[in-house]
Amino acid sequence: MIKYKLICKNCDLLFDSWFASSIEFEKLQKYNLLNCHNCNSEQVEKTLMAPKLIHNEEKRSSKKKNLNLRAIKENIKNYNKFIKNNFENVGENFAYEARSIHYNNKKKEKGIYGTASKNDLKELKEEGIDAQEVPWIEDKNN
Ligand SMILES: [Zn+2]
């Protein structure tokens, strides 16, 4: 048996509940079978473990963290690749091109990407032009 401290996201009620195993808990949560006994909401989640436990966990998983970082990098690279394949690179002209699409109704088959300064982004936003910042990793093997 395992005891979890649960929290209801709806009414913020904290309560303890016993489960046969962590797997049982996950199953119940997956199928929305956990109910708050106060408001009957299904938005019940496990609260974080005691800080002490987390601390120990962190020490042991510093190696894991590096792996995670690599996985995140890999994700960003894949995302960048997707953008490269599906958007047109306008480089330094990003702000100019974004405006010409916005104001001249310039039709482009592809969306655009490129580099813009923080100031450019701010101005574009003020003009109601939708631009998103994306993390970018230069891949030297490319
Ligand atoms: Zn509740």
Whether residue 140 lies inside any domain: the answer is: no
What CATH number does the domain containing 33 carry?
A: 2.20.28
Q: Helix count (H) and strand count (E) of the chain?
A: 5, 5
Whether residue 31 lies inside any domain: the answer is: yes
The reported pTM is 0.48
Separation of CA 57 and ligand 1 centre (Å): 30
Give tens-digit pLDDT for 30-84: 998 999 989 999 999 988 655 444 455 555 666 667 778 888 888 888 888 888 8
Separation of CA 18 and ligand 1 centre (Å): 17
Separation of CA 23 and ligand 1 centre (Å): 23
Beta bridge partners of 6: 15, 46
Residues 70 and 41 in one domain: no
Whether residue 108 lies inside any domain: the answer is: yes
Residues 41 and 88 in one domain: no
Taking alpha carbons only, the member of 141, 140, 130 closest to residue 99 is 130
Separation of CA 31 and ligand 1 centre (Å): 17
Output the six-digit token pair for 76. Answer: 């960003």
Output the six-digit token pair for 124. Answer: 């574009």
Give tens-digit pLDDT for 22-44: 899 999 999 989 999 899 999 99
Q: Which domain holds residue 97?
A: 66-126
Beta bridge partners of 3: 18
Separation of CA 35 and ligand 1 centre (Å): 8
Residues 77 and 32 in one domain: no
Residues 23 and 70 in one domain: no
